[in-house]
Chains A and B, each alone.
Chain A
């Protein structure tokens, strides 16, 4: 691919530094990010349901650059509103951009993406959250929690855990994870839309799940982290690297497969 202009690189570095520091982690940003998350496979943009674009590492990589795309050439926008546009070249994809950075074309970008904070700073009124680039990981954990809750309709629910590839989870660990999940579920309730009521439906009581499902859920959580290259090593050092996420080119989050 053609080289990016120096001024484009400088803008991207600046914006990446903002995102990595967590300075723009706000609800409004998240909504825009989700609503407008789009991959462009070329300058001649063809609208597609970007949410099912594949690639575990690529999705994480691109998520740091794409914000509120309304212009087919807009790449990203910083806190100051200054826009960064794709260079005007014939063929350009995020995949090529990622490989270019990965192979050393942009050392500073590479370094920034290799040193993401494990969790973003606390947003106002909230708790620590997984870094923005790992939204897909968060959604996978959410899907697992939701699937476990099918137990409340089906006491015979088949909900397997993870036997291989992860360290076994202890009961002490389960007793810490379940309340931490519950803490977040308790914070955000939804109305009883079916009955057109203002009553808020309470959070699912995870503690009422039977022990074997709680264990399986916690195992799955550990497994999902490992699928994104996160384990004890990353936890101990408290930073993450995009480059440690497996490429997994065919990967599409279950959430989007379910919704499409």
Chain B
């Protein structure tokens, strides 16, 4: 009997042999997808401008 899990598995999507066949946007999370607060953290105010 399969075991249910509520924890999502973090598994990178494996690129095809020719990386040009799979856009990077389908392989990786795009920075522009993250939420507004995370974007403000991305600005990294703990590092000087």
CB neighbours (8 Å) of A195 from chain B are: 13
B42 x A200 contact (CB < 8 A) = no
Given known A-B contacts A130-B43, A180-B46, A199 and B36 have beta carbons under 8 A apart:
no
Q: Does A27 contact B (CB under 8 A)?
A: yes
Q: Which residue of A lies closest to B40 (CB)?
A: A129
Contact flags A162-198 to B (C-beta < 8 A → 1, else 0):
0000000000000011001101110111111011011
Are A184 and B9 in contact, CB atoms less than 8 angstroms apart?
Answer: no
Q: Nearest chain A CB to B9's CB is how many angstroms away?
A: 6
Interface code B28-45, partner A: CB below 8 Å = 1, 0 otherwise? 111111111111111111
Whether A150 pairs with B43 at a CB distance below 8 angstroms is no
CB <8 Å contact, A177 and B44:
yes
| CB contact under 8 A between A119 and B46, given known A27-B37, A135-B36, A204-B31 | yes
Q: Report A132-178 residues with CB < 8 Å from chain B CB.
A: 132, 134-135, 137-139, 141-143, 145-146, 149-150, 152-153, 176-177
Selected from A120, A194, A198, the residue in CB contact (under 8 A) with B26 is: A194
The answer to whether B41 touches A128, judged by C-beta atoms less than 8 angstroms apart, is: yes
Q: How long is the Cα–Cα vector from A119 to B43 in the complex, in angstroms? A: 10
B38 shortest CB reach to chain A, Å: 5
User: Whole-angstrom distance from the CB of A80 to the nearest CB of chain B?
Assistant: 22
Instruction: Known contacts A143-B32, A204-B31, A232-B48; decide if A25 and B37 are in contact (CB<8 Å).
Output: yes
Could you tell me how many residues of chain B have their Cβ less than 8 Å away from some Cβ of chain A?
34
Q: Which of A5-13, A82-90, A94-102, A223-231 lies on the face that meets chain B?
A: A223-231
Q: How far is the CA of A37 from the CA of B46 in the complex (A)?
A: 27
Contacts of A57 in B (CB 8 A): none
Structural contact, A153 and B41, CB atoms closer than 8 A: no
Interface check B2, CB cutoff 8 A: no
With beta carbons under 8 angstroms apart, the residue of B28, B32, B41, B48 that contacts A184 is B41
A198 touches B9 (CB 8 A): yes
- Of B9, B10, B30, B43, the residue contacting A138 (CB under 8 A) is B43
B28 touches A149 (CB 8 A): yes
Q: Which of A28-36, A71-79, A105-113, A241-249 faces chain B?
A: A28-36
Q: Which residues of A are in contact with B by a Cβ distance under 8 Å?
A: 25, 27, 30-31, 33-34, 118-120, 123, 126-132, 134-135, 137-139, 141-143, 145-146, 149-150, 152-153, 176-177, 180-181, 183-185, 187-192, 194-195, 197-205, 221-222, 225-226, 230-232, 234-235, 255
